[in-house]
Structure 1
Amino acid sequence: MQPDRWFAVGSAQGTGRGSGARALDDALQSGDPKLVLVFCSPSQNLPELLREIRSRSAGAPLIGCTTGGEIATAGPHDASVVVAVFGGPGFAIQTAVATHASQDLRRAGALVAQCVPDRPDLPHRVLLLLSDGLAGDQQELVRGAYGVLGAAVPLVGGCAGDDLKMATTFQLYGDRVLTDAVVAAGIASDAPLGIGVHHGWRRVGEPMLVTASAGNRVFTLDDRPAIDVYLDHLGLDEPTGSDQEWLARIALTHPLGLRRASGEDHVRFITGGDFSERSLSCAAEVSNGALVWIMEGDAKSVLEATDTACRGSLAALDGQAPLGMLAFDCIARRGVLGSAGIRTEIERIATIASGAPVAGFYTYGEIARVRGLHGFHNQTLVVLAVA
């Protein structure tokens, strides 16, 4: 008999022709697909990849993005494609896209938030967002979606990557390859959907005062150029010919932490800087007058955060077993864990999932809003568990 609801994952290594078809065939294990999710390396031939998948996916709506590395049940990979499929009448799913997102991220969030189905018979809902993390202050995207949906519908997702080049990320919608876009899927379900989130970073050194900033750009810290103060706190000299990729690799394991009124630190991913004006760019707003710290983590703290996020997502399923999990894992955590550590992390996620399939990617920022307005995170693991 056709199952009421199902979730399956397929993956294929390599960037040659046929990788999309192989991944989709592994994931399309039953009929009535409701949504196809694609997470893939930016080195893929993206138009060809979409043609392969769309030709075999029975017309199901598709969203996806490029990554900083792909996650599947069998483990993490680079230069691969991962496909996850939701299916069955237990789900109702609609998709939406907002282009030119950097012009008004709040408007983009409000636009795509309208795709969440209103189905009284499917009471569990979530808005899944995949965004261009290089397009500006991603908290504005969350504010826009929250303004439409309010507190009743949680938000989850992540920002596309480009293998840490910090130049151009791509978002996928149907048969379109986009950049500077937000793609979304509004999911309504007859069984619970659980979100878990945790980062595992801690403060080091003395705090710094943000003395000039605008949006997601920090111009001065302690009344000195932001890049200079940041590197001084790390005890680093700037080499000749330094560039965005050099700065991004340093920032990968040394993000900024901001104190919130709740006492919890929010982590800000440094996406780059302007070496002429000596400013830093972050993935979300850093307010004037804020106290910030350099943050650091180690394998132990990062893996403990993995366990906490996964168990938190399962706790929201009201005792039901998961059909599957989606993992949005910051590329900075990958930098801390290293090649062996990320394999250990995915093994731990799969173990906690009790054999349910896992899909996801390494992100440039993570979205998880369950309560309150703030829902954009950096250097964090966000997990969506599907019952």
Structure 2
Amino acid sequence: MRVGVGFSSANDPSAAGQVASEQAVRQSGSPVITLVLTTDNYDQERVLSAVKRVIGNSRLVGACVPGVIVNARLYKRGVGICTVSGEGVEAVTHLQRNISQHSYRKGEKAGEALLEKGGETPGTVLLFPDGFAANISGLLRGLYNVMGPAFEYIGGGSGDNLRFYRTYQFTEEGISSDAVAAAVIRGINFQMCLSHGWRPVGEPLMVTKAKGRKVYEIDGLPALERYSALVGAYDKNDFSCYSMKYPLGLPCAGGEFIIRDPLKAEEDGGILFVTEIPENTIATLMEGDTASLLAAAEEVSKKALNTPAAPKTFMVFDCVSRYLLMGEDFSREMEAIAKNIKAEIPVIGMLSFGEISSISGTPLFYNKTIVAAAGW
């Protein structure tokens, strides 16, 4: 297996796509699968057209993201490309549109299409859902219902540069919004790891009324009222400031927590979350600081790189809310991830609107988390 990584922040979208692709292909040779990550400063069609001219018949998968990570450095503007070639490496892709409508069924349809194109031989499913879409967790359940436990799943929600307006997902089939771009890759082994650095604080609480991403009541009280009392803050206008510091944690097996990120205080006293929270869910308020987040970043790269053979690539999906929370300290998170990565290992990644991993056995959608995978 040969892997190449390229990057360009050229102003012209065609030039950025071409330069980044040429850099990657010079390292990998003619690719079997090409990963494309762009920021929303570009005409996506022109970027993709330029990339396709360079990569030829390679399969293509990717998305528009808030930030591109190349060789453990974050870029807020640019095009990042990862190309993979080698004997035995195989890939198929699928672009499933309109995932907000009947999300579970759309996940099933995506799984059916991937199996029809590539067969049932186990591999790794790389996923880029629209991070603004409703019920991504349902989408993943539908996908898993069709494809099952023989596959591993990894990816991240796409997004824009924090305008929360529109984002794009793409394969060689085309470009869409409200879609999931998916690829099944075979012939590459991946070791995945995830960590977040958040810890529980206070007593458990119960989400007593919720629908989709909106929580109406916590402990039988209006959600905003109860949540604000728990964190000791009451100014609705400052909700984003304190909600970023105090997400909810849903306990799971092994004493770990899945993080759920409050997004917006609603006029009716409810709270809109980034990801769905089922009614009657037990949750705990979580807290973290720079030290705990950085420790999680170092841990995730160290564990992912503990592979039985020398890794040849490293992928990282790092939640955009960690970037917003840490501010200037986020460069230290990149340094913590890079600490365990040898200089010759190409790194590609993104700031994500939610992270996907099947490290628990089934694909789950995470918030405020780092998911990493080393491939060989």
Question: TM-score of the superposition, structure 1-length normalised?
Answer: 0.88
Partner of 1:236: 233
Partner of 1:78: 76
Identity percentage of aligned residues: 29
Partner of 1:174: 172
**For residue 178 of structure 2, what is the amino acid of its counterpart?**
D
Counterparts in 2 of 1:50 and 1:253: CA distance versus 1, 3 Å: farther
Q: Which range is displaced more, 247-256 or 368-377?
A: 247-256
Distance 1:198 1:343 in 2: 18
Which of 126, 129, 148 pairs up with 2:127?
129
Matched, 1:303 2:294: yes
**For residue 4 of structure 2, what is the amino acid of its counterpart?**
A
Partner of 2:260: 268
Q: CA-atom RMSD, angstroms? A: 2.2
Partner of 1:347: 335
Matches within 5 A, 1:1-387: 5-17=1-13, 18-29=15-26, 30-73=28-71, 75-114=73-112, 115=114, 117-118=118-119, 125-174=123-172, 176-189=174-187, 191-238=188-235, 242=237, 247-248=239-240, 250-260=242-252, 262-273=254-265, 275-315=266-306, 317=307, 319-339=308-328, 341-355=329-343, 356-373=345-362, 375-387=364-376
Distance 1:292 1:211 in 2: 11
Distance 2:374 2:2 in 1: 13
**For residue 265 of structure 1, what is the amino acid of its counterpart?**
F
**For residue 111 of structure 1, what is the amino acid of its counterpart?**
K
**For residue 59 of structure 1, what is the amino acid of its counterpart?**
N
- Unaligned segments of structure 2, at least 5 residues: none
Distance 1:126 1:61 in 2: 15
The CA deviation at 1:304 is 1.6
3-state SS of the aligned residue for 1:95?
A: strand
Aligned residues: 370
Distance 1:272 1:53 in 2: 37
3-state SS of the aligned residue for 1:33?
A: coil
Contact 1:324 / 1:353 at 8 angstroms: preserved in 2?
no
The CA deviation at 1:261 is 5.1
Contact 1:7 / 1:324 at 8 angstroms: preserved in 2?
yes
**For residue 61 of structure 2, what is the amino acid of its counterpart?**
I
The CA deviation at 1:269 is 2.2
Distance 2:305 2:120 in 1: 24
Counterparts in 2 of 1:71 and 1:336: CA distance versus 1, 3 Å: same
**For residue 348 of structure 1, what is the amino acid of its counterpart?**
A
Q: Which range is displaced more, 221-230 or 150-159?
A: 221-230
Distance 1:333 1:208 in 2: 24
**For residue 9 of structure 2, what is the amino acid of its counterpart?**
Q
Distance 2:95 2:292 in 1: 36
The CA deviation at 1:33 is 0.6
The CA deviation at 1:159 is 0.3
Q: Which range is displaced more, 347-356 or 98-107?
A: 347-356
Distance 1:374 1:60 in 2: 26
Distance 1:133 1:139 in 2: 11
Contact 1:164 / 1:248 at 8 angstroms: preserved in 2?
no
**For residue 5 of structure 2, what is the amino acid of its counterpart?**
V
Contact 2:72 / 2:337 at 8 angstroms: preserved in 1?
no
The CA deviation at 1:309 is 1.8
Question: TM-score of the superposition, structure 2-length normalised?
Answer: 0.91
3-state SS of the aligned residue for 1:93?
A: strand
Deviations 1:280-310 (A, max 9, x none): 2223331222232332222221122122222
3-state SS of the aligned residue for 1:28?
A: helix
Distance 2:371 2:58 in 1: 25
